Amino acid sequence: MAEIDARTLGERIREARKRADLSQEDLGRAIGLDRTVVNKIEGGIRKVTALELSDIATATRVRMSTFFEDPVPALVAHRSSQGLDTADSQIDALLAKHSNDVEFVDSLKVAELGLDASEIVSKADIRQPSTNAETEALAVQARELMTLPAEEPITNLSSAVSKVGLLAFSRDVGKDTADAGTILLRRGGVTLVNSNMKVGRRRLALAHELGHYLIADAYTVDWRIASHSDDTVPLESRLDRFARALLLPESTVRRHWQEKVDQVGERNAAILLASKFRIDMSTLATRLKELKLADSQAVASVRNYRTTQADIIELNLYVPLEELEGTTVPRPFARAVLRLARDERISRERALDLLQYTVDETDLPHTRERRPDEIWKFVS
Where does residue 342 rank: exposed (0-12), middle (13-18), buried (19+ CB within 10 A)?
middle
Question: If pLDDT is split at 50, 70 and 90, which confidence band does 192 have?
Answer: very high
Among 19-23, 228-232, 279-283, top mean pLDDT goes to 279-283
Is the model's pLDDT at 87 over the cut of 90? no
Tell me the C-alpha distance between 342 and 108, whole Å.
14
Question: If pLDDT is split at 50, 70 and 90, which confidence band does 228 have?
Answer: confident
DSSP code of residue 380: -
Question: If pLDDT is split at 50, 70 and 90, which confidence band does 226 have?
Answer: confident
Q: Which of 200, 193, 224, 176 is nearest to 282 (CA)?
A: 200
Instruction: Please report, in angstroms and rounded to a whole number, the separation of the first and last CA atoms in the chain.
Output: 27
Element (H, E) at 194: strand 189-194
Is the model's pLDDT at 53 over the cut of 70? yes
What is the pLDDT, as a whole number, of residue 92? 83
Is the model's pLDDT at 311 over the cut of 90? no
For residues 57 and 51, the answer to whether their CB atoms sit within 8 Å is no
Q: Which of 164, 161, 149 is nearest to 205 (CA)?
A: 161
Query: Which one is predicted more confidently, 263 or 81?
Result: 263
Is the model's pLDDT at 86 over the cut of 50? no
Residue 235 amino acid letter: L
Contacts for 93 with CB less than 8 Å, ≥ 6 apart: 19
Is the model's pLDDT at 88 over the cut of 80? no
What is the pLDDT, as a whole number, of residue 124? 94
Is the model's pLDDT at 379 over the cut of 90? no
Question: If pLDDT is split at 50, 70 and 90, which confidence band does 365 have?
Answer: confident
Give the CA distances from residue 334 to residues 6, 74, 139, 168, in Å, rounded to whole numbers and listed in that order: 34, 24, 28, 11
Residue 167 amino acid letter: L
